[in-house]
């Protein structure tokens, strides 16, 4: 096992670590856990810890964490392009655009061909406009969209311009499709998948997502969170 222990020097000078975010954890859960472990270990009341780019609870993979003065770098790192591997399911749509909520509409897959799937994937490459999911942390009128959505309130959401650098279909096994995509800051993969289904005159939602790269940081550099906690606990 590699030495993952944080030193006093790391706290003073700042430290960037790359965590493989576990399934079911929010990005804040990871930050909060790392902060609490370090506070206990070094007997400090406050330690700055932050992350560069939120991952949904149902997503895993690269989460760049800044500790101490390194948190000042997170704004720049958050702007980096990111690469994801995902699994979408055709034939249905959900309010959250992923498996967090139950399907609200069901569609027939009859007539959908491999050629159509590949053509739709190519059509997303470049600068596009997309709407953030209603079940997201984007703020509208001072509240997060998911707060409005869970109360059944409808709000008007403005689209945002993002860039899709690549959208490669890796495997088609209907109703599921494996894909890899590299996108700019602020791109919602859930929205990309939802819009993918609409372009096929069908429905689609995200089943699984793994971030494999954020800027210069890749999944090969990521540490297992449980191992990190074990080496840094008192």
User: Which residues span the domain enclosing 16?
Assistant: 8-79+216-232
CATH of the domain at 150: 3.30.2350.10
Is 138 inside a domain boundary?
yes
Same domain for 73 and 112, yes or no, is no
Q: Which of the residues 29, 43, 56, 81 is marked catalytic?
A: 56
pLDDT in tens, 70-114: 999 999 999 999 999 999 999 999 999 999 999 999 999 999 999
Q: What is the reported pLDDT for 108?
A: 97
Question: Is 177 part of a structural domain of the chain?
Answer: yes
Predicted local confidence at residue 4, as pLDDT = 86
Q: Residue 6 pLDDT > 80, yes or no?
A: yes
Q: How far is 202 from 92, CA to CA, in rounded Å?
A: 7
Total domains, the chain: 2
Label each residue of 33-80 as H, E or C.
Answer: HHHHHHHHHHCCCCCCEEECCCCCCCEEEEEEEEEHHHHHHHHHHHCC
Cβ neighbors of 79 (< 8 A, separation 6 or more) are 185
Residue 142 has pLDDT above 60, yes or no: no
**Of 192, 87, 178, 74, nearest to 131 (Cα)?**
192
Q: Are residues 130 and 203 in the same domain?
A: yes
Residue 45 lies in a domain: yes
Over range 185-195, report the average pLDDT: 95
> Are 97 and 160 members of one domain?
yes
Q: Clarify whether residues 114 and 139 are in a common domain.
A: yes
Rounded Cα distance, 123 and 68, in Å: 42
- Of the two residues 150 and 5, the one the predictor is more confident about is 5
Strands 15-21 and 223-224: parallel
Q: Do 94 and 176 belong to one domain?
A: yes
Confidence at residue 1, expressed as pLDDT on a 0 to 100 scale: 43
147 in the same domain as 159: yes
For residues 164-188, give the mean pLDDT. Answer: 97
Query: Looking at the structure, do residues 58 and 99 belong to the same domain, yes or no?
Result: no
Asked whether residue 32 is assigned to any structural domain, the reply reads yes
Is residue 39 in some structural domain?
A: yes
φ and ψ of 135, to 5 deg = -95, 75
Q: Are residues 172 and 96 in the same domain?
A: yes
Whether residue 1 lies inside any domain: the answer is: no
Let me know if 56 is a catalytic residue: yes
Is residue 178 domain-resident?
yes
42 and 91 fall within a common domain: no
């Amino acid at each position: 096992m590699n030495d993952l222990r944080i030193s006093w020097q790391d706290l003073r000078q700042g430290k960037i670590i790359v965590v493989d975010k576990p399934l079911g954890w929010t990005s804040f859960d990871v930050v909060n856990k790392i902060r609490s472990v370090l506070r206990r270990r070094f007997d400090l009341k406050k330690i700055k810890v932050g992350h560069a780019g939120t991952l949904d609870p149902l997503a895993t993979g690269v989460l760049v964490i800044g500790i101490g003065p390194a948190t000042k770098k997170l704004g720049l790192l958050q702007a980096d392009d990111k690469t994801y591997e995902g699994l979408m399911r055709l034939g249905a749509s959900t309010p959250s655009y992923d498996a967090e909520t139950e399907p609200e509409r069901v569609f027939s897959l009859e007539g959908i061909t491999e050629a159509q799937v590949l053509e739709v994937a190519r059509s997303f490459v470049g600068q596009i406009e997309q709407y953030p999911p209603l079940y997201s942390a984007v703020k509208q009128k001072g509240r997060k969209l998911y707060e409005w959505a869970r109360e059944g309130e409808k709000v008007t959401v403005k689209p945002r311009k993002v860039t899709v650098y690549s959208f490669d279909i890796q495997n088609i096994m209907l109703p599921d499709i494996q894909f890899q995509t590299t996108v700019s800051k602020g791109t919602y993969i859930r929205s990309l998948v939802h819009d993918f289904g609409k372009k096929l005159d069908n429905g689609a939602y995200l089943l699984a997502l793994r971030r494999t790269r954020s800027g210069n940081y890749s999944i090969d550099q990521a540490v297992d969170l449980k191992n990190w906690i074990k080496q840094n606990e008192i």
